[in-house]
Structure 1
Amino acid sequence: MSARIALMGSGETAPSMVKVHRALLDSLGDKPRAVLIDTTYGFQENADELTEKAQDFFAESLVTSLGVATLRRAKDATALEVTRFRRELEAANYIFAGPGSPSYALGNLHQVGAGKILQDQLSRDATLCFASAAAVTTGRWSIPVYEIYKVGADPEWQDGLDLLSVFGIEAAVVPHFDNHEGATHDTRFCYIGDRRLRMLEARLPDGVPIIGIDEHTCVTIDDDGNVEVLGKGVLTIRRDGVAKEFPSGSVLTVESLGLSNRAPTRQSPVSDGTDSRLERFRTALVAFDAERAMQELAAAVSGDQRDDALTMIGELDAVLTDGFVDRRALLNPLVELIIELRASARSSKDFATSDRIRDGVAACGIIFEDSADGTTWRFASSD
């Protein structure tokens, strides 16, 4: 396997991109761990709907489960929520992000150091699939699309996540390169049009390229320097106002495209052969060794290892939520006995006792569900 970034101009959950996603997932072997970053559209009222749409696409079209690394508003997120977000990214090898606002995404992702985490994941041979607004964030420079197109702000670059630095590329990425939604006005180049794109180009260092990606088109770049164009449109490399196009099906290299303009920042993970405190903590969680896990957490806190301690707290919260102790297995024998007693009362037509038993367990957070096949139970918190 190798590190790979896939940049999609649009259509990330359209039928035209199924084959592309499938190939990217297959390259990860038999254990892809896919996760969605919801930050790009976290401000939208239909954010839940967009997340569900992406998960349905992965489940139905790709037969792959899609987890969620949620960070919709960084300034309102607790330390625990930020830790969960980071943990989701660090556990994934297929990281997907799509529509929304590039500037909103960057404002939140920069606050929690997400750029460094994503660069590290690329160094661990992950695949990042960033489309539309998310694709804008991947370069050294990023267009604040909404502010320019909708609000009328002067064309200025924002600092991107600089994910392409892993491959030795310093550039700006512009999806929706061939957009024509404006009909009577120019909405090419991610809606800002040629006039404003030229204004932005003038603010780039000489020779820095713009990577333009048409809609329903994907460009993949890997750490061997390979570049491939997939989908319906073309890849455009625009430098100092001069553009060159490469159609779908093109197999190129970073060097041949003139994109190799800095030293790659990819670093192979280094191990000294010993387990870190965080690794020992995770081993203890997997083994359900609560005492050892608490020892490692206490040592991280007393040793002023703040980042490790926050990560441990987030991971401990996750396993407690998921069931560090299987509450159902623990309670099932007792609850089944109560169900038998209630059934006996009902068969004797002692409905007052039956109702008291039902109401009593309900007060303890346990719900009985009666059917023709008998009585089952569940925790009320699962509603």
Structure 2
Amino acid sequence: MPGLLVLMGSGETSPTMVEIHRAAARKLRAGARAVLLDTPYAFQENHADISARARRYFARSVGLEVEVAAAGITGADWVFSGPGSPTYALDRWAGSGVDGDLRARVRTRQGVTVLASAAACTAGLATVPVYEIYKVGAEPHWRDGLDLLEPLGLRAVLIPHFDNAEGGTHDTRYCYLGERRLSRMERELPPGTAVLGLDEHTALIIDLGDESVRVAGRGGLTVRLPGSATVLPTGTRTDVAGLRRLAEGGEAGPAAAAPPSAPAAEPAVTLEESIRACEEQFKAAVAKPDMVAAAQTVLDLEAEIVKWAADTEEDTGGVEQGRELVRLLIARLGELASTAALRSLVEPLLTLRATLRQEGRYELADALREAMLRGGVAVEDTPDGSRWTTAP
């Protein structure tokens, strides 16, 4: 079976990467054995839930039934590993022989191997210990990687989450290292080593048979050397030789910039983007006001959350953030519905009071205002007319 190496920057079990998974799965023979290596997140208390969600994702979205294992991938047609701790995975793989099995898959150019997020971080000659540096505060340093790219003549490290922007006020690019720490760590790499930076929701797809290379997804692949960086955007097609030349500081050649023969598909929207869009749509609907449109926005957001429910990338908190927004918008809808019902009662009373005032019947107008106040509605007379609010 022709070999394929797919490296993903993030989003490995999200709707954004479905088509990439499907394209890889189409290379498999009938009855292929598919294995999900759970090692990177096996230390987490919810590892069984993460595996179950990943299995559902591959079964429902990709059409691939997968088994979960910590080792035993020899002869597997398809191997996948994703989020968690790169160093935890490396330590366990070294003790079980998985590291050698993964290298053999690339060296013999057989089988489909898909590594994403933490697992993708292990693919180069050195690995970013992201948990230790970013979450524990260890001094920036490298760990030896699997060096899966060495059989392809690539002397490089692979950094996923390259365009991460979760930090807001602090720099979390480059798999949460930021520029300051990455620059320092680059000086510690062996001479001639390039950094291959994979953006989130982006894949580097290497056909191990014909050595063709493709960048797919939402972002790009950055080939970074001291003093220079070349970005291959999504849709870029080249070959291993062209990528190797870039990693060595040369020109990739004309193939690297060649666009795909067919128009590129519209990039899939991330859950974070959907959440922001729904918030804006809800505000616009309420401002009109259009309660039907506002309610539909909540339903649309709920449907989007269901689509993303299998996402195993928990650090962003996207699904839970979406659920919190749904609860908030539902509560807001309840408030608005109550206000709308109250308005249908109050507005006619205000019209009656305005008529009484125009006719000089101020005593009755004041009595009506007092009665409305006892009912929980405060009326204020202004130069622009009467305004009302719910009384505390």
Aligned residues: 246
Match of 2:138 among 136, 150, 153: 153
| Pair 1:10–1:167, CA change in 2 (3 A) | same
Deviations 1:331-365 (A, max 9, x none): xxxxxxxxxxxxxxxxxxxxxxxxxxxxxxxxxxx
Distance in 2 of aligned mates of 1:62 and 1:228: 20
What letter corresponds to residue 97 of structure 2 in structure 1? G
1:188 aligns with 2:146: no
* Corresponding residue number in structure 1 for 2:5: 5
Match of 1:209 in 2: 194
Cα RMSD, aligned residues only = 1.6
Distance across 1 between alignment mates of 2:112 and 2:27: 9
Scaled by the length of structure 1, the TM-score of the pair is 0.62
CA distance in 2, matches of 1:13, 1:210: 25
Deviation of 1:158 after TM superposition, in Å, equals 0.4
Residue pair 2:154, 2:244 contacting (<8 A) in 1 also: no
Structure 1: any 5+ residue segments left out of the alignment? 71-84, 263-383
Of 104, 110, 133, the residue aligned with 1:125 is 110
> What is the correspondence of 1:284-323 to structure 2 with a 5 Å cutoff?
none
The farther-off stretch of 24-33 and 153-162 is 24-33
TM-score (norm 2): 0.60
* Residues in 2 aligned to 1:30 and 1:249: alpha-carbon distance in whole angstroms: 29
- Tell me, yes or no, if structure 1 residue 96 matches structure 2 residue 80: yes
Cα distance in structure 2, aligned partners of 1:239 and 1:115:
27
SS at match of 1:107: helix
Letter in 2 for 1:15: P
Match of 2:127 among 119, 134, 142: 142
CA distance in 2, matches of 1:137, 1:34: 20
Out of 89, 114, 130, the residue aligned to residue 98 of structure 2 is 114
Partner of 1:309 in structure 2? none
Deviation at 1:228, TM superposition (A): 0.4
Q: Give a deviation string over 1:187-209, Cα, whole Å, max 9, x none.
A: 00000101000111001122211
For 1:231 and 1:136, the matched residues in 2 are separated by: 18
Cα gap change, 1:238 to 1:260, in 2 (>3 Å):
closer
1:163/1:259 CA distance change after superposition, 3 Å: farther
Alignment-derived partner of residue 166 in structure 1 = 151
* 1:252 counterpart = 2:242: no
Separation in 2 of the partners of 1:135 and 1:14? Answer: 16
Match for residue 223 of structure 2? 237
Cα deviation, 1:211-263, whole Å, max 9, x if unaligned, reads 1000000001122322100011011000124111011110012221235989x
* SS of residue matched to 2:196: strand
Partner amino acid for 1:258?
Answer: R
Compared with structure 1, are the counterparts of its residues 259 and 43 closer, same or farther at alpha carbon in structure 2 (3 Å cutoff)? farther
Q: Name the CA distance, whole Å, in 2 between partners of 1:239 and 1:124.
A: 27
1:165 deviation in Å?
1.9
Q: Which residue of 2 aligns with 1:39?
A: 39
| Structure 1 ranges of 4+ moved more than 6 A | none
- Secondary structure at the aligned position of 1:181 is classed as coil
**What is the DSSP-based 3-state SS (H/G/I as helix, E as strand, rest coil) of the residue aligned with 2:235?**
coil
8 Å CA contact retained: 2:224, 2:247: no
Mapped partners of 1:217, 1:176: distance in 2: 9
Partner amino acid, structure 1, of 2:231: E
- Unaligned 5+ segments in structure 2 are 249-392
Q: Is the 8 A contact 1:138 1:160 kept in 2?
A: yes
Conserved 8 A contact 1:175-1:213? yes
Q: C-alpha deviations, 1:112-146, integer Å up to 9, x for none?
A: 22121112233151111000000001111101001
Distance 1:91 1:256, change over 3 A: closer
Change (3 A) 1:189 1:258: same
Q: Residues 223 and 247 of structure 2 are in contact (CA less than 8 Å); yes or no, is this contact kept in structure 1? A: no
